[in-house]
Structure 1
Amino acid sequence: MNIANRGVRQLADSSRKLTLEQSSLAEHYPAHSTDGTTLHLPLTSQYWPKAVHEELKHQHWSKSSISAHIDLNAWQGFLKDLPRDPYVNTRWKRMSWLHLNDQHEVETLGECPMAQGGRFNDAASMADRLRYYAPLEESFTEREDVRAFVKAWADMWGIGPREPILMQITGVRGDGTIDPLQGQGIHADGCKYLSILVVNRENVSGAINTLYRDKAGSELLSTTELAPGEVLHIHDDQLFHSVSSISQENAGQHFERFIIIINCAFIDEFQNRMLRRHFPGAVLNESK
């Protein structure tokens, strides 16, 4: 190696070392929310309480709160510009495919439709259909607390580089009573790892999450109501889940409930066919 090339190599190594050191410092020091309060952004490996890992190992589900790690008010601000779901008129939604790159940083992938086979989604309007949605806003996916959440979530499940992660913001708003699942009832989402995070819940009753051992619902495991900032983790290939319909607490006043759904490691062959087509370099569950 000549002197010029050695100098370029040393400069690149120094730059990479500085980037890694800055990343490490960002994990150790707190960030600030939009209202001036301090966010606690722990190391990725310390993001979740130990009980979460134990519960997932032994009962295949767990519930925790990440309110201290995210600026919930800022996240709620992204609900205002959600477009209406073109397939379910009473719902609003955005979604994006993400992954961790080889440096374990969060990246947004290109477009790939949501695809659920009838085995996992038996609603007549959804089964075996390709669905395209507007992507998550870049100003949302580039937030420090959003990236920290995605990295910690992937670490919790053992998700590696280039495994596609689907992240959705979806929910309902308006008047009256709405079934958020639009007839899905007890179901699985066709993946191994699934989490549901409530972003806001305003003037609503209902929306009770229920977990079952079987799709028939004869073996009930747990019921839980999620408050904003709380997240329910599910081994989706081991359990089934449902959510009850919601209604206004105060008639005539606006209500809404929005959630983030994040999942990975798809076992639905219909979805995997689309992922192979749109992301040829992706690491899929079936090829691991």
Structure 2
Amino acid sequence: MQKVFGSTGFEFGFLFVMRAESAMDPETFEPFFWNLPVDPYIKGDYRLRRLSRFKVLEEDIVKMPHGYLFQPKEYNPLVGGIKREFVELDDELVEFDMFKRLLSIFRDFCSLDIGAEIGVHQIRTTCSPDNFGNPAPEGIHSDGSDFVCIYSIDRRNVQGGETHLYRDKTGKPVFDKILYPGELLLINDRKFFHYTSPIQPIGPGNGQRDVFVLTSPSLLVDH
């Protein structure tokens, strides 16, 4: 594990974890990404997405009832200010032991309290020779949460997709790296802005980038 900007705990900023856990195998998640519905809020049909929220209990992390994603426009000028609704994660994925391990890693690194909520975004960004895929169409941003985790599952026939972290929107990035499958980035969303550059195919045909993005708080609201 590489700690960036030193200090103890997670208050200092962000952690980058190479091959985060030997018990984590990103390839086992790949079948769950083949039935993602298109994100209806982004033009171009190049982003596919599911979303669910979870609650930290004393000895478990459990799935919560369906909710709606809401971010103020100050955090998401593109689609902020509206309630966005996405299809829930597959039940089989929710019960998958390695997925539960991912939730536990996020809870433990962020020292989440009992009752804390976790939002889990399952996202595939696609690209073609004629159209780039944009993982962050809102540009350099923060999510409006406390903590964000990006866990890379797959990169297939793509170039680009570099993740950048910034102390402010006008400065140079303090972190700049392509996250390869199995790599995980934990961000203190109160201290850093983030952005991921567009992807395009390396060779003939289409390409794709698959990730889980976890946030706490979940940013989901009830009806």
TM-score normalised per structure 2: 0.89
% same residue: 22
Q: Considering fraction of residues, name the structure with more strand.
A: 2
Amino acid in the other structure paired with 2:30: Q
Amino acid in the other structure paired with 1:92: L
Q: CA–CA distance in 1 between the matches of 2:169 and 2:197?
A: 15
1:204 to 1:147, Cα distance in 2 relative to 1, 3 A: same
- Between 1 and 2, higher relative CO (CA 8 Å, sep ≥ 6) is seen in 2
1:100 corresponds to 2:56 = yes
Q: Considering fraction of residues, name the structure with more helix.
A: 1
Amino acid in the other structure paired with 2:216: C
Amino acid in the other structure paired with 1:96: S
Q: CA–CA distance in 1 between the matches of 2:7 and 2:91?
A: 34
1:225 corresponds to 2:178 = yes
Superposition map of 1:91-240 within 5 A: 91-102=47-58, 104-123=59-78, 126-176=79-129, 177-182=132-137, 184-216=138-170, 218-240=171-193
Amino acid in the other structure paired with 1:109: M
The residue that corresponds to 2:26 in the other structure is 72
Displacement of 1:133 in angstroms is: 0.5
Q: 2:201 aligns with which of 245, 248, 251?
A: 248
User: After superposition, what is the alpha-carbon deviation per residue over 1:21-47, rounded to whole angstroms, capped at 9, x for unaligned?
Assistant: xxxxxxxxxxxxxxxxxxxxxxxxxxx
Amino acid in the other structure paired with 1:131: R
Displacement of 1:210 in angstroms is: 0.9
Gaps of at least 5 residues in structure 1 are: 1-48, 279-288
Q: CA–CA distance in 1 between the matches of 2:212 and 2:205?
A: 24
Displacement of 1:59 in angstroms is: 4.5
Gaps of at least 5 residues in structure 2 are: none
Q: CA–CA distance in 1 between the matches of 2:25 and 2:105?
A: 16
Q: CA–CA distance in 1 between the matches of 2:15 and 2:103?
A: 17
Q: 1:261 aligns with which of 213, 218, 222?
A: 213
| Secondary structure, aligned partner of 2:70 | strand
User: After superposition, what is the alpha-carbon deviation per residue over 1:54-111, rounded to whole angstroms, capped at 9, x for unaligned?
Assistant: 5764751121123522232220110111111111222100010011223x21211011
RMSD (Å) for aligned C-alpha atoms:
2.1
Q: CA–CA distance in 2 between the matches of 1:130 and 1:70?
A: 33
Instruction: Note if contact 1:193-1:265 (Cα within 8 Å) is conserved in structure 2.
Output: yes
Q: CA–CA distance in 2 between the matches of 1:54 and 1:148?
A: 25
User: After superposition, what is the alpha-carbon deviation per residue over 1:159-194, rounded to whole angstroms, capped at 9, x for unaligned?
Assistant: 122211100111222413122222x11100001100
Q: CA–CA distance in 2 between the matches of 1:219 and 1:249?
A: 27
1:227 to 1:50, Cα distance in 2 relative to 1, 3 A: closer
The count of aligned residue pairs is 217
Larger Rg: 1
